[in-house]
Amino acid sequence: MKDKSKTILVTGADGFIGSHLTEMLLAEGYKVRALSYYNSFNNWGWLEGVDHPALEVVSGDVRDPDFCRHITSGCGTVFHLAALIAIPYSYVAPDSYVDTNIRGTLNMCQAARDAGVERIVVTSTSEVYGTAQYVPIPETHPRQPQSPYSATKIGADAIAMSFYNAFGLPVVIARPFNTYGPRQSARAIIPTIISQIASGERRIKVGDLRPTRDFNYVTDTCRGFMALGAASGIEGQDINIATGTEISMADTLGLIAELMGADVEYVVDQERLRPTNSEVMRLCGDSTRIRRLTGWQPEVSLEEGLRRTIEWFTEPDNLARYKSGIYNR
């Protein structure tokens, strides 16, 4: 990434984290080829309205190996974020997760190998650890597939690492813990609460409030990606992007209500509960490795990040994009 004359490819650039990463790369002076999932509406998701002379938006699908080779050609670094990520939907459509998350990663690794890229950063998830057996969770923590989604991400990680071991592909696996911020899908706990309160609801529908999470504000996550794209000698490693702190869902919701000045009550919606053995009850990541290898550390506190997120969601035009009365799987 030191050579800014080379194009950087971001898959999943039309999504929540991908769009923020794309904007950050452009702001740093990089040329970006941004993959948006193909649709007949020619809609580029969260890239709509992003106008920059160094941005090239392409539409397609990582499930197609020929297309993956096409978009990877001529790129120096690849950030592979394209994936199906909603856990509830993985219960009813697991086959599509295998196709996109595992086969899509296979296709991107093959394409990156053919193109001779300098590095491919493959996106994992803290969900691969399942409920913490001990905290903070290091990269050596056992993998526990507690949902079809997490199982496919474990498989995708293994595919990527096999290309490093078998072919010397310069792979780094980025494992962000729970990212939040503007543009996040309402399937996630923070935006679903904010959007309901902002829409005037006083009985807020939620799932299980007992689990804890390690929340990263989206700009901190993206800085982590960029650090992993640039650091020397880290190929073949999987690396957490985490704060090392945890907060329960109940306390998170209480903090959101306080920041929004809302007098609300929470009601458990059975539809939002995971199957008993599928719920990940505790996540708190160990960030020792990324700090040692890159110097990265989080900059945005949870309270400040929530303030920024609330400010974005309460803009009428942004809130109008969300269907607060419908559970988004």
Is residue 37 flagged as an active site residue?
Answer: no
Is 230:79 a contact under the CB 8 Å cutoff?
no
Choosing from 149, 164, 180, 322, the catalytic residue is: 149
Helix (H, G, I), strand (E, B) or coil at 239: strand
SS3 for 156-167 is HHHHHHHHHHHH
Helix (H, G, I), strand (E, B) or coil at 155: helix
Helix (H, G, I), strand (E, B) or coil at 72: helix
Is 19:183 a contact under the CB 8 Å cutoff?
yes
Q: How far apart are the first and last CA of the chain?
A: 36
Q: How far, rounded to the nearest angstrom, does the alpha carbon of residue 69 sit from its chain's CA centroid?
A: 23
The rounded distance, in Å, linking the Cα atoms of 189 and 207 is 8
Helix (H, G, I), strand (E, B) or coil at 102: helix
Those residues whose C-beta lies under 8 Å from the C-beta of residue 241, and which sit 6 or more positions away, are 174, 175, 176, 177, 216, 220, 221, 224, 225, 228, 285, 287, 290, 296
Amino acid 164 reads Y
Those residues whose C-beta lies under 8 Å from the C-beta of residue 132, and which sit 6 or more positions away, are 141, 281, 282, 283, 284
Catalytically active residues, by annotation = 149
